[in-house]
Chain A
Amino acid sequence: MSTTIRFPILDRLLFASPGPPGEVPNEVRRRGSSSACPSPSHINTISKTPSVCCADTSPGGPGEASLSTRTPPPAVYSPRSTLDARPEHSADSPVSIHAMTVAYARKPVLWDVDYDAPSNALIAIVGPNGAGKSTMIKACLGLIPRAAGTVEFWGQSYKQARSRIGYVPQRESVDWDFPVSALDVVCMGRYRKIGWCRPVTKFHKLAAMEALERVGMADFAKRQISQLSGGQQQRVFLARALTQEADLYFMDEPFAGVDAATERAIIDVLRELRTNGKTVIVVHHDLQTVPEYFDHVLLLNMRIVASGPVGEVFTADNLQKTYGGRLTLLAEAAEAVARAAKGN
């Protein structure tokens, strides 16, 4: 029953009488990271300072009255004082995620994620289908609402740090029959700098051309995007992110279904970004290339299984935990939360 040890909160969720929709995430928020998995593999480069967690000792406000009828924790539950709690956020980290829980239609898909990304590194997010990899990125960027938890970028909110963040969405997420050229798409990365209701000037077009050159797509600038191959489309998306001139990039499956030339072009750009001191967080599906391409890895399966330098964390044991041993209780709990919210 190691799962119950690591996720005591889930037992509570299963046994607690559910409140109105949205109550459960409140519970998660209150309890914060302190109760989340202090898994042995939870290696992180950011130093952890012990702090006292008061979530359990102080019951929540009136809104959480329904949750006060909790069953007592299991006997094997580790005492609070031994928990290795972290400070809420690290201001040095390009992205610092604290106790983030994300739910789709009230069904949790990510539980209690805590993560401080190291700066100036290429970081892979790895995990099976449905592990919540894209969800994690989107929740960080505020593209889908977080049920609980906070995300900070260099100690700032997303709104404040937005100009320093670039994003490459999944290629499948758009209609490629859209009537624009590759250059038009790349120029979209400059819209924020250009400002509302102003035309794209030559200066910005040149910047877009330069980005297209960096991904080896300068010859295709005038092509309509549906006439590009999948890999070329992916490179156009990458070029668009490059024109954002960010310090931190989130990339959602940039290597999915691309040709060899594109894969080389992307990895060259990633390394160039690292040389220039940037941080890149990539949702990645190809386990074989993780050690070659990335410095850090984050193994995800509805919760963080392990995170840290590839050499330390990317082990057969951790992979087995990520891919083989899906925590059935976690999935069942998510279903229970969803069912309770829907009222059936």
Chain B
Amino acid sequence: MNDLPINFEEIFDTLTLQGGFNTNAVILGTTLLGIAAGVIGSFALLRKRSLTADALSHATLPGIAGAFLISTSLGYSGRSMPLLMLGAAITGILGVACIHLILHHSRLKEDAAIGIVLSVFFGIGIVLLSLVQTSSSGGGAGLNHYIYGQAAAMTRSDAVLMGIIGIVASLAALIMLKEFMVVCFNETFARSTGLPVWLIDSIMLGLVVLITVSGLQAVGLILIVAMIIIPPAAARFWTDRLWKLVLISAIIGGLSGYAGASISALFPRKPAGAVIVLVAGSIFGLSMLLAPTRGILADTIRRLRLKLLIARDHVLESLYEIELQIDNASQPKASIIFIKLMTMRGWIMKTNNTLALTDSGRTQGKRIHRNHQLWEQYLVSYADIAPTHVDWSVDQVEHVLTDELIAELEEALSQRGITIDNGDPA
């Protein structure tokens, strides 16, 4: 922890892009890469190819080590970024090709094929990496950075290259939005209209490759897939429209990249990849919890509300049935708090230790009682269910009947000569 002595000013300067040109280039480059990963990841997610991206990123390791070995043996510098990226792209694509080969020539399913390719290619990469480290003294040590990523170690030109690739890849994906959309949604239809699905898939894969190899240095090959999967997965909680999904995903990806690179600049020994994943992961967690309709919280509230509604209906219904003097009608069972709440809302009142309906409560009770009867009659006369068996299903349905459904029920029943009166007390 000897890189801790850092003051607030330095943090502020870094975050506001005043931390020197090199730092700025790295932060900006990683942010742009994050945006691109968010955009392209959206399509990878919708095409259900996220795990293929994972296999691809692991399969880049032998390419990196291989490119280093070949270029040093030819007398060039093994640290040239474009060369390493080329090697990474070649074995990455080779890995994806192997997945398709396994799928095509065996009865294995995609998960197994991906697992095999991912581990085998990564294993080959580790072997090659150990070769690099034993053969060349010190020169290959930096290659370890490609596994976990170290944004701070990037040169300015590497960062600029990364940023440019990010911009180009995002633009390419946006231009092809329409084609990507139809292939992701309905491949057979796309093919029937004459779209070359394989070409569009290849372009999509090519963009994933671009993002992966250009992010290797900053994020590392193990965690780069997180930049492709997590932002769109988090964005999916917030929207039901594709262009919004892409936009939100880009923002989340950009934010993660920005945070990761900044923190890496402040604490040079902290791998940026891990920080990026933590930021993206937190956003995902918050989205899953708090998103308006798809989030857990919203879902829980919705369920609770329905539960309360049903409990309220039951209280009103049984009190109404007592007023009607129906057999085996009994005082409703509900918690004291709930009864208190209902009293406060003015639906029921307490007289002589028994509960009774107020006027507004009676209107409600009458409606619920009638809905119950309508549905019960429908089940008995149309679905041939014995009257003694309908109670549970009626209890589930009577609270959710809409006005239209009630009208339909009335019509269906009147066709069989059954009418349910408005339920006024005798």
Contact = CB atoms under 8 A, between A and B. Distances in A.
Interface residues of B, number: 25
A185 interface: yes
A141 B193 CA distance: 9
Given A179-B236, A180-B242, A173 B182 contact: no
B5 interface: no
A138 interface: yes
Given A191-B193, A191-B195, A192-B194, A179 B188 contact: no
Interface in A191-211: 191-192, 194, 196-200
Interface string B273-289: 00000000000000000
Nearest to A197: B175
B177 to A, nearest CB: 9
Nearest to B244: A179
Nearest to A185: B185
B192 A167 contact: yes
Contacts of A224: 240-241
B181 interface: yes
A179 B245 contact: yes
A178 B189 contact: no
B205 to A, nearest CB: 18
B189 A167 contact: yes
Interface in B156-215: 175-176, 178-179, 181-182, 184-186, 188-195
A186 to B, nearest CB: 12
Interface string A171-194: 001110011110011001101101
Contacts of B188: 138, 143, 167, 169, 173
Contacts of B46: 178-179
Contacts of A226: 240
A226 B186 CA distance: 15
Contacts of B194: 159, 162, 192
B302 to A, nearest CB: 15
Contacts of A150: none
A178 B241 CA distance: 8
Interface string A149-178: 000000000010010010101000111001
A173 to B, nearest CB: 6
A220 B259 CA distance: 41
B239 interface: yes
Contacts of A101: none
Contacts of A200: 178
Contact of B241 (A143, A162, A167, A181): A181
Contacts of B241: 179-181, 184, 224
Pairs A-B, 6 closest by C-beta atoms: A224-B240, A167-B192, A192-B193, A188-B182, A174-B186, A162-B194
Given A197-B178, A197-B179, 12 more contacts: A162-B194, A167-B192, A175-B185, A178-B46, A179-B241, A179-B244, A180-B242, A181-B241, A188-B181, A188-B189, A191-B182, A200-B178
19 contacts: A142-B192, A159-B194, A162-B193, A162-B194, A167-B189, A167-B193, A169-B188, A175-B185, A178-B185, A179-B46, A179-B236, A180-B241, A188-B190, A191-B195, A192-B194, A197-B176, A197-B178, A197-B179, A198-B178
Interface of A: 138, 141-143, 159, 162, 165, 167, 169, 173-175, 178-181, 184-185, 188-189, 191-192, 194, 196-200, 224, 226, 240, 244
Interface of B: 46, 175-176, 178-179, 181-182, 184-186, 188-195, 236, 239-242, 244-245
